[in-house]
Chain A
Amino acid sequence: MNRHNIFDELDQAIEQMLAEPDGEKPAVQDEVGELVDIASDLRHLPRPDFKMQLKAELEWQSWSPTARSKSTPSARAQMADASVMPTLAGNSYGLYPIHRSNFVASVLLHAAALVIFVGLGVVMAQHHGEHNLQDGTKVTLLAPYLPTTPGIDKKPGGGGGGGERSKLQTSAGEPPKTSMQAQLAPPVVERPREESKLMAEPTVVADLKVPDSAKVGDQLSRLMAPSAGPGTRAGVGSGSGHGVGPGDGDGLGPGNNYGHGGGIGGNGHITTPKLIYSPDPEFSEEARKSKHQGVVVMTVLVGTDGKVHDARVTQSLGMGLDEKAMETVKLWKFEPARASDGTLVAVYASIEVNFRLY
């Protein structure tokens, strides 16, 4: 039988099982039958992040006896029953009765200590410059490119764009130098081979720090072949003008005129999302065996809810670690980025996921 027919028959059977979980096993020929049985079991495959989450919870509870006893509904029900904890009230045989005032004072003292402890932790976290929770994790805002996702009703700042009517999308790279001075030369992806000494340095009109890079292009692009993009009027991107991005003008990003960040003219300051919860990634078996370690760099979309909505690998480590990084960052939580008027905004950011063997 044709292999393609077998692939199709198997897929149809799987589709049927997924659509009708309580239905009968689809009738298939022998060669596919055993695979359908396996597929049937796989319908209940646990989510890989569930296993990791539960492990993290158990590890946390293993050093926190209080949390451990409160972690399950049945345990909580037991806690509610005072007779299970006679020592709390001192009403068991052989115990001194506890004075209510002492008990209240003790609770207040413990609560005060807890507040100070938590407060110090929050202050320290806020003043920890690079938002490193996972050891060495760096979060870099890819500032000019606010995604056009629902929930962003107000975009600060301006933008710009351009292109050379290329059939290719814009190639991967960083924005050129920025300056609020009048633009003397528009950005180019490929510099002429013989540059004149009098040639002005390409810039875009924006007030924003951008990483130094010799390769001008779109931070969100994967295209390696140099291309100024399908836009018009000599800039870089899909827009129109002398800037970089999908907008119209001499700035950066999806807005108009100059500046960065979307909207019309001017500059919007956007804060970098702060990492507030970052469980370590698991090693793949292959990487652990060969003691392979390093850093996976990813571009992620951090939503206004602080969760990662989209992630892709921009610097791969291989041996299954890219996929482990992908699974892990989806569990990470951020304090979302804010525009200058305090509005929460979804932004793309570059993050580093460290894999270290100790």
Chain B
Amino acid sequence: MNAVANAANVTNERLLIEAAQHDPSRFAELYENNFARVYAFVVRRVQNREEAEDVTAEVFHQALAKLGHFQWRGIPFVAWLLRIAANTLADRWQRESRNQEVPADVLEEAGADQAIERSAMLFQLVERLPEDQRLVVLRRFVDQKSLREIAQELGRTEGAVKQLQFRALQNLRSKVRSNHESS
């Protein structure tokens, strides 16, 4: 059953790429499907949100510009994007410190990294959390606000926000587990 689903996904992706090659406005769908994994790959290496956003933007701009040169060889599209990301990071690091060697893990085969898959899955799952839990996660981890500040903003008690934070992480854990079991 999984093999059939995978084959359908591959065909679907191939059709999407061909559509985007003819009409670049269709690139948005490829972007939506691959954003989380590219971002997760980059942020794991740079460990900094701002830089990760900068590099991720550069990767997708380059991908859109070079899409016409992409040739389908049965390799997932994300592998091509991660290759662009690795090259972009290597270029950046070489530019920033010409004398330093490029960290080896930038050039490793990126698609196999389970930690990236897990982070990407988490980033996507946050979008599907119940709204109050999602807001708490965004305020806490993206805006790095204290529970007190979040409580004030949402008009709730600090205890209620603390509980929402716990429920959100519990929710994410169970979704990660069930996704692992089904894959």
Q: Once the chains bind, are B126 and A72 in contact (CB under 8 Å)?
A: no
Would you mind naming 15 contact pairs between A and B with Cβ atoms under 8 Å apart?
Answer: A7-B159, A10-B169, A11-B162, A14-B140, A21-B47, A34-B173, A38-B122, A44-B119, A46-B56, A46-B142, A47-B49, A47-B142, A68-B65, A73-B58, A74-B88
Q: From A45, A61, A68, give the contact of B142 (CB < 8 A).
A: A45
Q: Once the chains bind, are A46 and B176 in contact (CB under 8 Å)?
A: no
Q: From A7, A10, A15, A74, give the contact of B62 (CB < 8 A).
A: A74
The 7 closest A-B pairs by CB, nearest first: A62-B24, A35-B169, A44-B43, A42-B141, A71-B61, A7-B162, A72-B61
**Interface, chain A (partner B; CB < 8 A):** 4, 6-8, 10-11, 14-15, 18, 21, 34-35, 38-39, 41-48, 50-51, 54-55, 57-59, 61-63, 68-69, 71-75, 285, 320, 323
CB distance from B136 to the nearest CB of A (A): 11
CB distance from A38 to the nearest CB of B (A): 5
Q: Once the chains bind, are A54 and B57 in contact (CB under 8 Å)?
A: yes
Question: What total of A-B pairs shows CB separation below 8 Å?
Answer: 121
Instruction: Please report which residues of chain B, range 24-57, place their CB below 8 angstroms from some CB of chain A when the two chains form the complex.
Output: 24-25, 27-28, 31-32, 35, 39, 43-44, 47, 49, 52-53, 56-57
Complex CA distance for A4 and B165, rounded to whole angstroms? 12
Q: Once the chains bind, are B24 and A63 in contact (CB under 8 Å)?
A: yes
Q: Given A45-B142, A68-B65, list of 4 further CB < 8 A pairs?
A: A7-B159, A7-B162, A10-B165, A35-B166
B contact residues around A10 at 8 Å (CB) = 165-166, 169
Q: Once the chains bind, are B147 and A11 in contact (CB under 8 Å)?
A: yes
Q: Once the chains bind, are B138 and A48 in contact (CB under 8 Å)?
A: yes
Q: Once the chains bind, are B126 and A7 in contact (CB under 8 Å)?
A: no
Residue of A nearest to B145 (CB): A18
Complex CA distance for A205 and B162, rounded to whole angstroms? 49
A contact residues around B88 at 8 Å (CB) = 74
CB distance from B112 to the nearest CB of A (A): 18
B contact residues around A11 at 8 Å (CB) = 147, 162, 165
Q: Is the interface of B mostly helix, strand, loop or mixed?
A: helix
Instruction: Please report which residues of chain B, range 128-183, place their CB below 8 angstroms from some CB of chain A when the two chains form the complex.
Output: 128, 131, 134-135, 137-138, 140-142, 144, 146-147, 159, 162-163, 165-166, 169-170, 172-173, 176
CB distance from A29 to the nearest CB of B (A): 14
- Does chain A have a CB within 8 A of B64? yes
Instruction: Please report which residues of chain B, range 92-125, place their CB below 8 angstroms from some CB of chain A when the two chains form the complex.
Output: 118-119, 122-123
Residue of B nearest to A21 (CB): B47
Q: From A4, A59, A69, A73, give the contact of B28 (CB < 8 A).
A: A59
Give the one of A39, A62, A68 with max B CB within 10 A.
A62
CB distance from A56 to the nearest CB of B (A): 10
Given contacts A42-B126, A50-B53, A323-B135, contact A62 B169 (CB under 8 A): no
Complex CA distance for A44 and B43, rounded to whole angstroms? 7
B contact residues around A61 at 8 Å (CB) = 61, 64
B contact residues around A8 at 8 Å (CB) = 162
Complex CA distance for A85 and B165, rounded to whole angstroms? 54
Complex CA distance for A48 and B134, rounded to whole angstroms? 11
Complex CA distance for A10 and B166, rounded to whole angstroms? 7
Q: Once the chains bind, are B25 and A38 in contact (CB under 8 Å)?
A: no
Q: Once the chains bind, are A63 and B25 in contact (CB under 8 Å)?
A: yes
A contact residues around B64 at 8 Å (CB) = 58, 61-62, 68
Q: Once the chains bind, are A46 and B49 in contact (CB under 8 Å)?
A: yes
Complex CA distance for A18 and B149, rounded to whole angstroms? 15
Given contacts A58-B31, A62-B24, A74-B58, contact A45 B126 (CB under 8 A): yes
Give the one of A50, A75, A320 with max B CB within 10 A.
A50
Complex CA distance for A42 and B165, rounded to whole angstroms? 12
CB distance from B145 to the nearest CB of A (A): 10
A contact residues around B172 at 8 Å (CB) = 38
A contact residues around B56 at 8 Å (CB) = 46, 54
Complex CA distance for A73 and B43, rounded to whole angstroms? 19
B contact residues around A323 at 8 Å (CB) = 131, 134-135
Instruction: Please report which residues of chain B, range 53-79, place their CB below 8 angstroms from some CB of chain A when the two chains form the complex.
Output: 53, 56-58, 60-62, 64-65
CB distance from B132 to the nearest CB of A (A): 9
Complex CA distance for A55 and B33, rounded to whole angstroms? 12
Q: Once the chains bind, are A44 and B52 in contact (CB under 8 Å)?
A: yes
Given contacts A38-B169, A39-B169, contact A54 B60 (CB under 8 A): yes
Complex CA distance for A62 and B147, rounded to whole angstroms? 41
Complex CA distance for A74 and B51, rounded to whole angstroms? 16
Q: Once the chains bind, are A46 and B53 in contact (CB under 8 Å)?
A: yes
Q: From A42, A58, A73, give the contact of B122 (CB < 8 A).
A: A42
